[in-house]
Amino acid sequence: MGQAPATTTAGADDLSVWPASTARLDHGDLGVGGVSLAGLAERFGTPAYVLDEIEVRERGRTYLHAFPGAQVFYAAKAFLCRAMAHWADEEGLGLDVCSAGELELAVTAGFPPENIVLHGNAKSPHDIDAAIRFGVGRIVIDSPSEIARLVAAVAPGGRQKVMVRVAPGVMAGGHDKIRTGTDDQKFGLTITDGHAHHTIARILDQPRLELTGAHCHLGSQITSVKPYATAVRRMVGLMARVRDSHGAVLPELNLGGGHGVAYRPGEPALDITALARTVRAELDESCAAARLPVPRLLIEPGRAVVGPAGVALYRVLAVKRGGQRVFVAVDGGMSDNPRPALYGVRYAPRLIGRRSTAAPRRADVVGRHCEAGDVLAADAELPGDIRPGDLLALPVAGAYHLSMASGYNLVGRPPVVAVADGRARLLVRRESLDDFRSRDVGL
């Protein structure tokens, strides 16, 4: 699992951000999991997502080995299907879900509900009812208004385990839109003005709720361990004040996820081993200073488990010049990957399926949608003879691609294909025009 900051030089033949099983094949093709990517494009069409099952499993194991004694919950918002839920369960991971939809898909696929945590800053009645009905392990309270709703949903004599989400006042993350640990955003309850402490006191007064611990999530694409150390100190400080004021010792501390990965060669990634070492040392030291027993640690990685295991496949439809730029238009775009438009993330696509000896040139890989901002990879290095009909593969496409895909222009969301040991199998089929028609009941 590529944890440490990459030291390679970016280039057209650099595979440092690709799945570990990636191999160069004949005629300029690449194979992942022992399967030709060009062959997958021919078999399943494009656009398509390819997911290396072995890499996903190994990344999950990396967390279990790095954090012995902790509970590791895979963040389903990054990518979820029935097979993914099955892999997570087989590898000993819990599941972090954010809606009744994610919850019901996982449980009906056989995932044990007691190993599921439900999140959400605005849980619907359906979300809460489903969580209580299925018996999820924990519900993370994100606002005081949820307390009464949860109490009303729990049957008389019942008891639901809950955590409380805290905003620890830590700024971290790769973009303003994915920073969630500060006081000025929608998630959690702030420490500085006493809202977190007040909400905890209200929860402790409810006999139908069992407060197991405090939760925080700092943001996404964090590549330094320092924000997590700061969060530990502040969270332990809050837990000590709860002990002093109410005599309640909270047995769990959930530090969320947000662990950054490299999307292009040379970019940094969070070192998971260093994170575990730093968090454990800070937790031991802070608890000793506060005379608190060390709580059980919970973490919720998503992108770092599945992101680098995925590859997106596209076919080039058009190549043209516009001013000083070269545009390579493909058969997908922001409907299957909105992240460049939302956060300005940059990718490193690669020509597959044929070998080119042309000198490289810079080009913008753009999508097919009716938006000027539909750019999948700005200023990408591609062969100078790139042409319609060519195939492009885009690495680090396992997280927040299908889960954020839309029905824009009714092009249909791509399929997901799993590869392992030289075999490929379809996990999620391509969305079809029949799917759109079946939902449209206007006539």
Encoded tokens for 441: 């009941």
Active site residue 216: no
Cβ atoms of 215 and 163 within 8 Å: the answer is yes
Rounded Cα–Cα distance for residues 212 and 47 (Å)? 44
From the candidates 81, 216, 287, 370, give the one annotated as an active-site residue.
370
Burial group, residue 64, by CB count within 10 angstroms (0-12, 13-18, 19+): middle
Rounded Cα–Cα distance for residues 408 and 431 (Å)? 12
Query: For the chain, what is the largest distance between any 2 Cα atoms, rounded to a whole number of angstroms?
Result: 73
Active site residues: 370
